Amino acid sequence: MKPLFILPGWGLGRGPLQAAATALGGAFIDLPGYGEMPLEADFDRAAASIADRLPPGATLAGWSLGAMLALAIAARAPAKVGKLLLIGGTASFVQRETWPEAMPPATLGEFAAAIAADPLALLPRFVGNFNRGDAKARAVTTEILRLASPLPAGDVLATGLGWLRDVDLRLDAPRITAPTLLIHGAADPLMPLAAARALAALIPGALLQVLDDCAHTPFLSRPADFLDLARPFVHD
Protein backbone atom coordinates (compact mmCIF):
# COMPACT_ATOMS: atom_id res chain seq x y z
CA MET A 1 0.00 0.00 0.00
CA LYS A 2 1.36 3.39 -1.00
CA PRO A 3 1.41 6.16 1.62
CA LEU A 4 -1.57 8.51 1.81
CA PHE A 5 -1.12 12.28 2.00
CA ILE A 6 -4.02 14.67 2.65
CA LEU A 7 -4.35 18.34 1.70
CA PRO A 8 -6.87 20.27 3.87
CA GLY A 9 -9.23 23.02 2.76
CA TRP A 10 -9.17 26.80 3.00
CA GLY A 11 -9.12 28.46 6.41
CA LEU A 12 -9.79 25.45 8.65
CA GLY A 13 -6.55 23.49 8.73
CA ARG A 14 -6.17 19.84 9.66
CA GLY A 15 -8.66 19.59 12.51
CA PRO A 16 -11.90 18.74 10.67
CA LEU A 17 -10.11 15.99 8.71
CA GLN A 18 -8.13 14.52 11.61
CA ALA A 19 -10.47 11.62 12.44
CA ALA A 20 -10.70 10.57 8.79
CA ALA A 21 -6.93 10.84 8.37
CA THR A 22 -6.36 8.66 11.43
CA ALA A 23 -8.86 6.06 10.23
CA LEU A 24 -7.25 5.93 6.80
CA GLY A 25 -3.66 6.04 8.06
CA GLY A 26 -2.93 9.29 6.23
CA ALA A 27 -0.44 12.08 6.87
CA PHE A 28 -1.14 15.76 6.26
CA ILE A 29 0.62 18.20 4.01
CA ASP A 30 -0.46 21.67 5.06
CA LEU A 31 -1.45 24.25 2.51
CA PRO A 32 1.04 27.09 1.93
CA GLY A 33 1.02 29.48 4.88
CA TYR A 34 -0.53 26.97 7.29
CA GLY A 35 1.41 25.27 10.07
CA GLU A 36 5.09 25.37 9.22
CA MET A 37 4.55 25.62 5.46
CA PRO A 38 5.81 28.92 4.02
CA LEU A 39 3.34 31.02 2.08
CA GLU A 40 3.58 30.73 -1.69
CA ALA A 41 1.38 33.22 -3.50
CA ASP A 42 1.51 31.50 -6.91
CA PHE A 43 -0.80 28.49 -7.28
CA ASP A 44 1.38 26.74 -9.87
CA ARG A 45 4.52 27.07 -7.75
CA ALA A 46 2.59 25.92 -4.68
CA ALA A 47 1.42 22.79 -6.49
CA ALA A 48 4.97 22.08 -7.69
CA SER A 49 6.35 22.55 -4.17
CA ILE A 50 3.87 20.08 -2.71
CA ALA A 51 4.60 17.61 -5.51
CA ASP A 52 8.30 17.80 -4.59
CA ARG A 53 7.41 16.57 -1.07
CA LEU A 54 5.64 13.45 -2.33
CA PRO A 55 7.33 10.09 -2.87
CA PRO A 56 6.68 8.47 -6.24
CA GLY A 57 3.32 6.78 -6.57
CA ALA A 58 1.76 8.27 -3.44
CA THR A 59 -1.97 8.32 -2.83
CA LEU A 60 -3.00 11.96 -2.70
CA ALA A 61 -6.25 13.19 -1.19
CA GLY A 62 -7.57 16.73 -0.99
CA TRP A 63 -10.65 18.44 0.37
CA SER A 64 -12.14 21.60 -1.18
CA LEU A 65 -9.23 23.94 -2.04
CA GLY A 66 -6.92 21.04 -1.17
CA ALA A 67 -8.74 18.97 -3.79
CA MET A 68 -7.96 21.60 -6.42
CA LEU A 69 -4.28 21.47 -5.52
CA ALA A 70 -4.34 17.66 -5.54
CA LEU A 71 -5.96 17.68 -8.97
CA ALA A 72 -3.30 20.03 -10.34
CA ILE A 73 -0.49 17.93 -8.85
CA ALA A 74 -1.86 14.69 -10.30
CA ALA A 75 -2.10 16.27 -13.75
CA ARG A 76 1.31 17.95 -13.71
CA ALA A 77 3.42 15.45 -11.75
CA PRO A 78 1.86 12.09 -12.70
CA ALA A 79 4.81 10.05 -11.44
CA LYS A 80 4.17 11.33 -7.91
CA VAL A 81 0.47 10.39 -7.71
CA GLY A 82 -0.52 6.74 -7.89
CA LYS A 83 -4.12 7.35 -6.75
CA LEU A 84 -6.18 10.50 -6.39
CA LEU A 85 -9.02 11.08 -3.91
CA LEU A 86 -11.00 14.31 -4.32
CA ILE A 87 -13.43 15.28 -1.55
CA GLY A 88 -15.80 18.13 -2.31
CA GLY A 89 -13.70 19.02 -5.34
CA THR A 90 -14.23 21.09 -8.46
CA ALA A 91 -12.25 22.24 -11.48
CA SER A 92 -13.30 25.87 -11.04
CA PHE A 93 -14.71 27.40 -7.87
CA VAL A 94 -16.30 30.35 -9.67
CA GLN A 95 -18.59 30.53 -12.67
CA ARG A 96 -16.97 30.68 -16.08
CA GLU A 97 -18.14 30.28 -19.63
CA THR A 98 -19.55 26.74 -19.96
CA TRP A 99 -19.06 26.25 -16.19
CA PRO A 100 -22.24 27.67 -14.62
CA GLU A 101 -22.53 25.44 -11.54
CA ALA A 102 -20.30 27.49 -9.29
CA MET A 103 -20.16 30.66 -7.21
CA PRO A 104 -20.58 33.98 -9.04
CA PRO A 105 -17.23 35.85 -8.97
CA ALA A 106 -18.91 38.89 -7.42
CA THR A 107 -20.13 36.81 -4.48
CA LEU A 108 -16.62 35.55 -3.83
CA GLY A 109 -15.34 39.13 -4.06
CA GLU A 110 -17.81 40.27 -1.42
CA PHE A 111 -16.82 37.41 0.85
CA ALA A 112 -13.11 38.17 0.40
CA ALA A 113 -13.69 41.80 1.38
CA ALA A 114 -15.67 40.76 4.45
CA ILE A 115 -13.02 38.23 5.52
CA ALA A 116 -10.33 40.90 5.21
CA ALA A 117 -12.36 43.17 7.48
CA ASP A 118 -13.19 40.62 10.23
CA PRO A 119 -12.16 37.01 9.62
CA LEU A 120 -13.13 35.70 13.06
CA ALA A 121 -16.67 37.00 12.68
CA LEU A 122 -17.06 35.62 9.16
CA LEU A 123 -15.74 32.11 9.81
CA PRO A 124 -18.90 30.77 11.53
CA ARG A 125 -21.06 32.15 8.74
CA PHE A 126 -18.79 30.61 6.10
CA VAL A 127 -18.92 27.18 7.76
CA GLY A 128 -22.66 27.41 8.31
CA ASN A 129 -23.23 28.34 4.68
CA PHE A 130 -21.31 25.40 3.27
CA ASN A 131 -23.31 23.04 5.47
CA ARG A 132 -26.69 24.26 4.21
CA GLY A 133 -28.75 21.31 3.05
CA ASP A 134 -26.91 18.80 5.23
CA ALA A 135 -29.18 16.61 7.35
CA LYS A 136 -26.85 17.29 10.29
CA ALA A 137 -26.05 20.90 9.38
CA ARG A 138 -26.15 22.43 12.87
CA ALA A 139 -24.19 19.63 14.55
CA VAL A 140 -21.59 19.47 11.78
CA THR A 141 -21.11 23.25 11.81
CA THR A 142 -20.55 23.20 15.57
CA GLU A 143 -18.09 20.33 15.22
CA ILE A 144 -16.09 21.99 12.45
CA LEU A 145 -15.75 25.21 14.43
CA ARG A 146 -14.62 23.21 17.46
CA LEU A 147 -12.04 21.28 15.46
CA ALA A 148 -10.76 24.06 13.22
CA SER A 149 -7.13 25.03 13.55
CA PRO A 150 -6.36 28.66 14.42
CA LEU A 151 -6.93 30.95 11.46
CA PRO A 152 -3.76 31.74 9.51
CA ALA A 153 -2.67 35.28 8.77
CA GLY A 154 -4.79 37.53 6.58
CA ASP A 155 -2.43 37.31 3.61
CA VAL A 156 -2.68 33.51 3.71
CA LEU A 157 -6.48 33.65 3.67
CA ALA A 158 -6.42 36.21 0.86
CA THR A 159 -4.04 34.07 -1.20
CA GLY A 160 -6.36 31.07 -0.99
CA LEU A 161 -9.37 33.16 -1.97
CA GLY A 162 -7.39 34.53 -4.90
CA TRP A 163 -6.71 30.99 -6.06
CA LEU A 164 -10.40 30.14 -5.79
CA ARG A 165 -11.15 33.19 -7.93
CA ASP A 166 -8.48 32.65 -10.58
CA VAL A 167 -7.66 28.94 -10.91
CA ASP A 168 -9.35 26.98 -13.69
CA LEU A 169 -8.27 23.33 -13.91
CA ARG A 170 -10.56 22.14 -16.70
CA LEU A 171 -7.61 21.65 -19.05
CA ASP A 172 -5.61 19.82 -16.37
CA ALA A 173 -8.28 17.27 -15.51
CA PRO A 174 -8.10 15.23 -18.76
CA ARG A 175 -4.33 14.81 -18.26
CA ILE A 176 -4.76 12.82 -15.05
CA THR A 177 -3.66 9.20 -15.41
CA ALA A 178 -4.02 8.05 -11.79
CA PRO A 179 -7.11 6.11 -10.71
CA THR A 180 -9.41 8.78 -9.29
CA LEU A 181 -12.27 8.66 -6.79
CA LEU A 182 -14.47 11.67 -6.13
CA ILE A 183 -16.60 11.66 -2.95
CA HIS A 184 -19.19 14.40 -2.92
CA GLY A 185 -22.18 15.48 -0.88
CA ALA A 186 -25.39 15.61 -2.89
CA ALA A 187 -26.38 18.86 -1.15
CA ASP A 188 -22.98 20.60 -1.31
CA PRO A 189 -23.77 24.31 -1.84
CA LEU A 190 -20.12 25.37 -2.15
CA MET A 191 -18.97 22.89 -4.79
CA PRO A 192 -22.29 21.85 -6.41
CA LEU A 193 -22.87 18.23 -7.35
CA ALA A 194 -23.24 19.24 -11.01
CA ALA A 195 -19.67 20.56 -10.90
CA ALA A 196 -18.44 17.28 -9.43
CA ARG A 197 -20.20 15.37 -12.19
CA ALA A 198 -18.63 17.62 -14.80
CA LEU A 199 -15.21 17.17 -13.23
CA ALA A 200 -15.59 13.38 -13.08
CA ALA A 201 -16.46 13.39 -16.77
CA LEU A 202 -13.23 15.28 -17.53
CA ILE A 203 -10.94 12.85 -15.67
CA PRO A 204 -10.35 9.60 -17.59
CA GLY A 205 -11.88 6.64 -15.75
CA ALA A 206 -12.85 8.67 -12.66
CA LEU A 207 -15.52 7.31 -10.29
CA LEU A 208 -17.90 9.70 -8.53
CA GLN A 209 -19.57 8.51 -5.33
CA VAL A 210 -22.36 10.71 -3.96
CA LEU A 211 -23.60 10.79 -0.36
CA ASP A 212 -27.19 11.92 0.02
CA ASP A 213 -28.34 14.40 2.70
CA CYS A 214 -24.76 15.60 2.94
CA ALA A 215 -23.14 18.95 2.12
CA HIS A 216 -19.45 19.91 1.95
CA THR A 217 -18.02 17.73 4.75
CA PRO A 218 -19.00 14.10 4.09
CA PHE A 219 -16.21 12.86 6.37
CA LEU A 220 -17.98 14.52 9.34
CA SER A 221 -21.62 14.35 8.28
CA ARG A 222 -21.53 10.67 7.31
CA PRO A 223 -18.16 9.41 8.58
CA ALA A 224 -18.87 5.68 8.42
CA ASP A 225 -20.23 5.89 4.88
CA PHE A 226 -17.33 8.12 3.85
CA LEU A 227 -14.81 5.60 5.16
CA ASP A 228 -16.66 2.72 3.49
CA LEU A 229 -16.03 4.48 0.18
CA ALA A 230 -12.54 5.85 0.83
CA ARG A 231 -10.88 2.94 2.64
CA PRO A 232 -11.08 0.30 -0.14
CA PHE A 233 -9.84 2.82 -2.68
CA VAL A 234 -6.93 3.98 -0.53
CA HIS A 235 -5.91 0.54 0.74
CA ASP A 236 -6.46 -1.64 -2.34
- Enzyme catalytic residues: 64, 188, 216
What phi-psi label fits residue 153: left (phi over 0), alpha (psi between -120 and 50 degrees) or beta? beta
d(CA 143, CA 217): 11
Q: Which residues of 32-53 are buried (b: 16+ CB within 10 A; e: fewer)?
A: bbbeebeebeebeebbebbbee
In terms of Cα–Cα distance, which of 154, 160, 207, 128 is closest to 46? 160
d(CA 155, CA 115): 11
d(CA 64, CA 186): 15
Asked if 49 and 40 touch (Cβ cutoff 8 Å), the reply is: yes
